[in-house]
Amino acid sequence: MKCPFCGSPDTQVVDSRVSEEGDTVRRRRRCAVCDKRFTTYETAEVRLPQVVKANGQRVDFDREKIRTSFHRALHKRPVPTQLVDEAIARIIQKVLTVGEREILSRQVGEMVMNELAKLDKVAYIRFASVYRSFSDVDDFHDVLKEVSRAHE
């Protein structure tokens, strides 16, 4: 770590302590050149990947878009908010474990559909109808058969 006083790259860690929350490390450092002391803080940087849309456009991953999708699909459905939050957390965890810098929007959509299928079948069908761009009643019928088979 470069010394903020003299700019020397030769610094030593004198003391390290983990924060009470356990998510930050506080380090006291001493510069070998000017002998001044300073403090640094170390935290983990977690970056969600960019989402690549069907048209090739890249956008930042947005948790609120997922939450909005869940709320629209679950409108007036008896699903507790805690279960929705847990489903969203599972999706974000899956996105992080992919470990890539980019993820296809289709993959994120499939993750949302899988979580909705576990929470509420009606919400799953609502989301699928928009996500898969249903064009007629036969599309609904196919998904209803799919849900019925999975429920057996």
Q: Which residues of the chain have pLDDT under 70?
A: 131-144, 147-152
Q: What pLDDT, on a 0 to 100 scale, did the predictor assign at position 144?
A: 66
Which residues lie across from 41 on neighbouring strands? 26
Q: Which helix (H) or strand (E) holds 15?
A: strand 11-18
User: Secondary structure of 92-127 in the HEC alphabet?
Assistant: HHHHHHHCCCEEEHHHHHHHHHHHHHHHCHHHHHHH
* Contact call for residues 3 and 32 (beta carbons, < 8 A): no
Residues 23 and 78 in one domain: no
Tell me: do 84 and 100 sit in the same domain.
yes
Q: Does residue 82 sit in the same domain as residue 134?
A: yes
pLDDT in tens, 83-124: 999 999 999 999 988 888 999 998 999 899 889 989 988 888
Residue 5 lies in a domain: no
**What distance in Å separates the CA atoms of residue 119 and residue 138, rounded to the nearest whole number?**
24
Do 70 and 134 lie in one domain? The reply is yes
When divided into structural domains, the chain yields a total of 2
pTM: 0.63
> Does 25 lie in the same domain as 58?
no
Q: What is the reported pLDDT for 146?
A: 72
Determine the structural domain holding residue 66 and report its residue range.
Answer: 50-151
Q: Are residues 33 and 79 in the same domain?
A: no
pLDDT at 97: 87
Asked if residue 1 belongs to a domain, the reply is no
* pLDDT number for residue 111: 93
Residues 29, 91 within the same domain: no
Distance, CA of 39 to CA of 147 (rounded, Å): 57
Tell whether 63 and 132 lie within a shared domain: yes
